[in-house]
Amino acid sequence: MLDAPPSSLRLALVAEDPLARGALARALSDQSEGWTVVAAGTQVELEGARGAPPDVVLWDTGLRLTEGAALAPDLGAPVLALVADEAAGELALGEGARGLLFRDVAPGMLVAALHAVARGLTVFETGLSHVRAAPRSTAPSGGAPGPDTLTPREREVLGLLAEGLSNKAIADRLAISDHTAKFHVNAVLAKLGVQRRTEAVVRAARLGLVTL
């Protein structure tokens, strides 16, 4: 059992279904742990908002998560994903989620997991433990992805990442949608074998793909 620290957390709650958001908010409010829900809404709503980043993001992936929609919230904080099944867990993990729980998780376990993920730990419910050992592969059928497989557009995005631009700023610079920009950013991270934007820039610099 993970012990939750007494300090208050800044929590962002992401769910496309308003009923799911409401149920999660109520479940969390019934617990005695201290935190502040600084934002709650859909992924598009929260990624377009401005403000200090939360300490942890709770992402409800819904009843069915498909590969095209498996884009984890990019709010500058580690993500704990609530998934309906193992397949959704693999997709969420492949997008960089630091923890996986089933959507019907007990409130007490959810509380402990949120604190653990906020502290940089990884959390997997027992029924999803094997997903941790076998995360979703984003490799194309012709072989494993890598820096050499970056498309011209992905190289553009990588260069903008090196400039420190946000997904929205990248979208504005390239005249593409925020969703498309995030798709390209996630593809760059996957091909470089990293989970965070800063790691991508450092690795790209070492490979001579960008100049810092």
The answer to whether the beta carbons of residues 79 and 73 sit under 8 Å apart is yes
Which of 11 and 4 is assigned the larger pLDDT? 11
The dihedrals phi and psi of 89, each to the nearest 5 degrees, come to -65, -40
Q: How far is residue 162's CA from residue 9's CA, in Å, rounded to a whole number?
A: 30
Evaluate if residue 132 carries a pLDDT over 60: no
Q: Both 85 and 177 in a single domain?
A: no
**Residue that terminates a domain, selected from 133, 167, 185:** 133
DSSP annotation of 49 reads: -
Which band of pLDDT confidence, cut at 50, 70 and 90, is reported for residue 153? confident
For residue 140, what pLDDT is reported? 42
Per-residue pLDDT of 73-119, as tens digits, reads: 777 788 899 998 888 888 888 777 888 999 998 888 898 899 888 88
**What total number of domains does the chain contain?**
2
Q: Residues 28, 75: one domain?
A: yes
Are 95 and 188 within one domain? no
pLDDT at 166 over 70: yes
Same domain assignment for residues 104 and 191: no
Residue with tokens 């090196």: 162
pLDDT at residue 206, as a whole number: 84
pLDDT in tens, 42-73: 888 886 666 677 889 999 988 877 655 556 77
Give percent of the chain above pLDDT 90.
Answer: 9
**Residue 201 belongs to a domain with what CATH number?**
1.10.10.10
CATH number at residue 123: 3.40.50.2300
Rounded to 5 degrees, φ, ψ at 81 are -100, 135
- pLDDT for 5-35, tens place per residue? 445 788 899 988 889 888 888 888 777 566 7
3-state helix, strand, coil in the chain (%, to 5): 45, 15, 40
- Domain with 179 in it: 147-206
Query: Last residue of some domain: 133, 164, 184?
Result: 133
Query: What are the backbone dihedrals phi and psi of residue 202, each rounded to the nearest 5 degrees, phi first?
Result: -60, -45
Do 121 and 54 fall into the same domain? yes
Q: Looking at this protein, which amino acid is placed at residue 83?
A: V
User: Is the per-residue pLDDT at 142 higher than 50?
Assistant: no
Confidence of residue 158 (pLDDT cuts 50, 70, 90): very high
Please check whether residue 194 lies inside any domain of the structure. Answer: yes
> Is residue 211 included in any domain, yes or no?
no
Q: Are residues 15 and 120 in the same domain?
A: yes
> How far apart (Å, rounded) are the C-alpha atoms in residues 22 and 1?
27
Tell me whether residue 84 is in a domain.
yes
Beta bridge partners of 60: 15, 82
Q: What is the mean pLDDT of the chain?
A: 79
Q: Which two tokens stand for residue 20?
A: 């799911």
Is pTM beyond 0.85? Reply is no
Domain boundary among 102, 133, 164: 133
d(CA 105, CA 111): 10
- Cα gap 10→147, rounded to integer Å: 35
